Structure 1
Amino acid sequence: MKKPAETLSESKVKFINRILTDIQAFMSDQPEGRYLDLLDDDVLPQYSDAILILSQYDGALSGFRSRYYGYVPSAHEITWRLS
């Protein structure tokens, strides 16, 4: 298990930021989108900092799912609500 005070490697930060950049673009028009930050690749973050940033994304994506996924009465099924 990694200690929270240890820093991430530069390659890990770049890899994570590539994924987070895609999520930021996808979530840009959502209310939570303005709170999504990338990991700082100039000063390598500690694991605890990375967990904090990733938890913001987890919360934003959970909000997106609860807003747009669920029971659709007209279709009589649980699915994505597109309208």
Structure 2
Amino acid sequence: MPRTAHPNDGSSPSPTDQQAATYDRLVPMLEAAHREMTELSKKKQDGIVNALKIKMLNRLLSELSKVIEKDPSHAFVDMLDEETLPQNSDAVLVLSQWHAALQQYKRRHHRYDSSIRKDRWFTVENP
């Protein structure tokens, strides 16, 4: 049985197996951080995010940046500013943009493969 056609529309090169593994490992952490920041923002929207949280979030975003660096959505995501320390609501906005960009990336490269009857990453090593 032939494999499903590659889902990539040509706008983003296929990820490597390592990038797909990084995505799968780190996106749940990003989602958890986004939920936490959203809850914090509901309580105190204009509160300032402390430097430790910014450092931790940027470490996560830096690794995810390597996954989507050749994707068109990469131009629309930013790191959190460690010098000016954003407000909670600003951090939520930044994390929301990352979440949306990563979801689009997965939609381009993670699809159903009829030969194995499950969803999988379509990678450089496993097109």
TM-score normalised to the size of structure 1?
Answer: 0.89
Q: Please say if 1:26 is aligned against 2:46.
A: no
The size of the alignment, in residue pairs, is 83
Q: Please say if 1:54 is aligned against 2:86.
A: no
Aligned with 1:5: secondary structure? coil
Equivalent residue for 2:104, pick from 40, 63, 71: 63
Deviation at 1:45, TM superposition (A): 0.4
Q: Quote the Cα distance in structure 2 between the aligned partners of 1:21 and 1:80.
A: 21
Query: Gaps spanning 5+ residues in structure 1: where?
Result: none
Q: Report the counterpart of residue 85 of structure 2 in structure 1.
A: 44
Q: Report the counterpart of residue 45 of structure 2 in structure 1.
A: 4
Deviation at 1:21, TM superposition (A): 0.9
Deviation at 1:35, TM superposition (A): 1.2
Equivalent residue for 1:73, pick from 114, 122, 126: 114
Q: Structure 1 stretches (4+) deviating beyond 4 angstroms?
A: none
Q: Deviation per CA, 1:44-74, whole angstroms, max 9, x where unpaired?
A: 1000000000001100110111111121234
Q: Quote the Cα distance in structure 2 between the aligned partners of 1:37 and 1:47.
A: 15
Query: Gaps spanning 5+ residues in structure 2: where?
Result: 1-39
Instruction: Point out which structure has higher relative CO (alpha carbons under 8 A, 6+ apart).
Output: 2
Q: Quote the Cα distance in structure 1 between the aligned partners of 2:122 and 2:82.
A: 37
TM-score normalised to the size of structure 2?
Answer: 0.60
User: Cα RMSD (Å) of the superposition?
Assistant: 1.3
Q: Quote the Cα distance in structure 2 between the aligned partners of 1:20 and 1:14.
A: 10
